[in-house]
Structure 1
Amino acid sequence: MTRTEERLRDAFGAAADSMPDGSLAPLTVPARRRRRPWTVPVAVAAGLAAVVVGGTALGGVIPRTVHGNAAAGGDGPRYIVAIRDGRAVVESAAGQGLSKAAPLSGHYEAVAATGDGRTFFLAGKAGGDAYAFYRLTLTANGTPSAPQPLPGGTVRLDTGFGKPENLAASPDGTRLAVVGTAGGRPEAVVVDVRTGGHRTWTAPGAGTVTSATWAPDDRTLGFIQTPASPSGQAVLRLLDTRRPGADLLSSRVLRPAEITGARVNGLINVFVLNPDGRTATAQIQGAKHGRDDDASYALATLSAADGRPTGRAVPLPGDSFFVKADGSGEHFLQLIDGRPGRVDGGAFTWLSSAADYDDLAW
């Protein structure tokens, strides 16, 4: 069993445990990972609908809101905020390595960034499955402010990983999103960081929601929805968070979470919507092989119009179940068995030999 399958097994187990007795049999492996042999081709649905934002069809391109302080390309962001053993640490990302600084006060579980290289959000446990959120800013030389609590209290949500690993910040820094399960049902919660207001979307039945990601329009929330039924199919969805309603499945399907084709084949474990509004970047788990059911992993670019792969895939050394882009969309963080790496210009490099990282963002 791969690390991805182990983590998703735990996520489904946590969701099942939270439901009333008899309402759902415990699951050990997500449906999309066991409902058919890897050797059987899966036809990808054709003619997927164009992405629609704000009620206007835009040919699949998500409008890009220009943020003047977005991080530039080049060598990528100068600093990373990492979570190591529950402590938030600002580290220099200059060159190919990380330079550790003193940890910030407080205990944290996750970090999300807006992509401007300065604004970060931290999540810390507030008891059980409840999480509180904090804002952190960096000066030009990487000096951090003290984390400031956000208004609005806490969010109670079981992400399946024991922390809000599915945490994402909108590019303009006004909203946070966290996805998981509540009462055994898939749920997405968006927090207005200025007012503390919460808005919640829920899907009927059981299953999971993972991989929260904001589009550059600051209103479209992407995620992967996996039904509990073995006959169901995991899909990448796009939710217009400005529209009325609370049905998570009112979101539009971008594509199935399985890819078959000449460019790349496998399962989409996690994805991010890129700042250009035209593409997404996904981590793909390839077919199992060998005596120990090993699998290959790659980072691939998808079209935001129909979800089809574009360009070549970048091989990864292992399963990260993790990808975070910088503000330019040219540099991507990876976290593989607790060890950080990055993908730039079509190549993967390790950032550190240490393997005690829980989360990181730039």
Structure 2
Amino acid sequence: MTRTEERLRDAFGAAAGTGVPDGSLAPLTVPSRRRRRPWLAPAAVAAGLAAVVVGGASVGGAVPHTTRSGPAAAAGAPRHVVAIRDGRAVVEDATAGGLTQVAALSGRYDAVASAGDQRTFFLAGKADGDSYAFYKLALGADGKPSAPERLPGGTVRLDSGFGKPENLAASPDGSRLAVVGTAGGRSEAVVIDVRTGGRRTWSAPGAGTVTSATWAPDNRTLGFLQSPGDASEHAVLRLLDTRRPGADLLASRIVRPAEVTGTRVDGLINVFVLNPDGRTATAQIQGPKHGRNDDASFVLATLSTGTWQPTGRAVPLPGDSFFVKADGSGAHFLQLVDGRPGRVDGDAFTWLSGAADYDDVAW
């Protein structure tokens, strides 16, 4: 297994022994690696998605495949990131090819998510035991943050182990937060209204693990990965219309298996985001394992949300990662590889820092 899988296995094993109460969002697991087989996305699914996922202008083409290790200075990229480093939230400037601290926030936090304006951020901080409270903050043009304001509505129980950061997501307009995971044998998705604190929960017993929360540009469609508990079944990408009545998580639509086969990319989708253009998604894909240590290659690839087939070329990544976050334009992507942050700016991957103490990061 990969290094990330080993860390996740150890973290989940330790968390499972703590007796997380029923009804909480319990430790999250990664999709099972299974033998790949060809897949076919039904035409009706593709047509239905086009009616649900709406957006603005195209990001202008596929993600190129080249890689570099020097400083990146991409035009139009966000200037600031909010990062969680060893439990502390910090604002850092990303324009100089690296990361330079602008400000540090008081308190302890475990996750961060951003809205599409790249000025509004949300933090998850431990309140009591496995309960987390959520906070909102705003960045000025100079990167100076406002004091985090606690959101109404109480707390949510969720796992604080590995795998959690990519399971907290803010809608593009900043009006809603989503948390996905498993609880008491049930897969769950919780959506929180930022203004009122009201929430809705969708669940399904025995449906395995749910990861990779991502919002479509319509601010109502929530995407996620579901990895069934039955080893004979394959992980799938799903879309949930959060405005429709009902609480059955599996009433969401399957858009494709998490396995990708083809001439451009070949492997398993670990995490994905729906892009602001409404016509593409970006997925981190783990290639076939090889060698005595089950090594694998990793790429960041573009998928068409019309066909859910890979389109264009893919950017090679330097190591295993179950993390990808986009900026408000959908042209720039953050990665965490073994706790070290990097970025993909259309034509290449670039390290942002040599430090490896990052738990989460967003821009």
CA distance in 1, matches of 2:200, 2:167: 16
Matched position secondary structure for 1:333: strand
Q: 1:102 to 1:143 in 2, by over 3 A?
A: closer
Q: 1:31 to 1:331 in 2, by over 3 A?
A: closer
Shift in Å, 1:310: 0.5
Shift in Å, 1:249: 0.6
Shift in Å, 1:51: 5.0
- The amino acid that maps onto 1:224 is L
TM-score, with structure 2 as normaliser:
0.87
Which residue pairs with 2:239 in the alignment? Answer: 238
CA distance in 1, matches of 2:121, 2:313: 31
CA distance in 2, matches of 1:311, 1:335: 23
Higher relative contact order (CA 8 A, sep 6+): 2
Q: 1:46 to 1:140 in 2, by over 3 A?
A: closer
Listed one character per residue, the Cα deviations across residues 243-302 of structure 1 (whole Å, up to 9, x for unaligned) are: 000011101111100101111000100000000000000000001112221110000000
Say if 2:108 is the partner of 1:116. no
Say if 2:55 is the partner of 1:64. yes
Q: What is the aligned residue count?
A: 341
Shift in Å, 1:96: 1.8
CA distance in 1, matches of 2:228, 2:161: 15
Shift in Å, 1:93: 1.1
Shift in Å, 1:117: 1.7
Q: 1:165 to 1:264 in 2, by over 3 A?
A: closer
Shift in Å, 1:305: 2.0
Say if 2:132 is the partner of 1:141. no
Which residue pairs with 1:336 in the alignment? Answer: 337
1:172-183 correspondence to structure 2 within 5 Å: 172-183=173-184
Shift in Å, 1:127: 2.1
CA distance in 1, matches of 2:175, 2:284: 27
Say if 2:38 is the partner of 1:47. no
On the 8 A contact 2:340/2:354 being kept in 1, the answer is yes
1:201-350 correspondence to structure 2 within 5 Å: 201-350=202-351
Which residue pairs with 1:6 in the alignment? Answer: 6
CA distance in 2, matches of 1:3, 1:214: 28
Say if 2:201 is the partner of 1:200. yes
On the 8 A contact 1:322/1:334 being kept in 2, the answer is yes
Q: 1:338 to 1:266 in 2, by over 3 A?
A: same
TM-score, with structure 1 as normaliser:
0.88
CA distance in 2, matches of 1:357, 1:158: 18
Say if 2:104 is the partner of 1:107. no
CA distance in 2, matches of 1:60, 1:154: 34
Shift in Å, 1:101: 2.8
CA distance in 2, matches of 1:29, 1:360: 20
CA distance in 1, matches of 2:207, 2:2: 23
On the 8 A contact 1:280/1:304 being kept in 2, the answer is yes
CA distance in 1, matches of 2:53, 2:75: 24
- The amino acid that maps onto 2:3 is R
Which residue pairs with 2:354 in the alignment? Answer: 353
Listed one character per residue, the Cα deviations across residues 58-79 of structure 1 (whole Å, up to 9, x for unaligned) are: 646711279xxxxxx8340010
Q: 1:51 to 1:16 in 2, by over 3 A?
A: farther
Shift in Å, 1:140: 1.1
Listed one character per residue, the Cα deviations across residues 333-360 of structure 1 (whole Å, up to 9, x for unaligned) are: 0010111000012200000111111100
Which residue pairs with 1:24 in the alignment? Answer: none
On the 8 A contact 1:49/1:254 being kept in 2, the answer is no
Q: Which is worse superposed, 118-127 or 98-107?
A: 98-107
Detail structure 1 runs of 4+ shifted over 4 Å in the superposition: 10-20, 27-31, 162-165
RMSD of equivalent CA atoms: 2.5
Say if 2:23 is the partner of 1:32. no
On the 8 A contact 2:297/2:319 being kept in 1, the answer is yes
Matched position secondary structure for 1:126: strand
On the 8 A contact 2:260/2:267 being kept in 1, the answer is yes
- The amino acid that maps onto 1:327 is G
- The amino acid that maps onto 1:47 is P
On the 8 A contact 1:12/1:207 being kept in 2, the answer is no
Shift in Å, 1:327: 0.4
Shift in Å, 1:198: 1.0
Which residue pairs with 1:185 in the alignment? Answer: 186
On the 8 A contact 1:60/1:306 being kept in 2, the answer is no
Shift in Å, 1:108: 0.3
Q: Which is worse superposed, 124-133 or 251-260?
A: 124-133
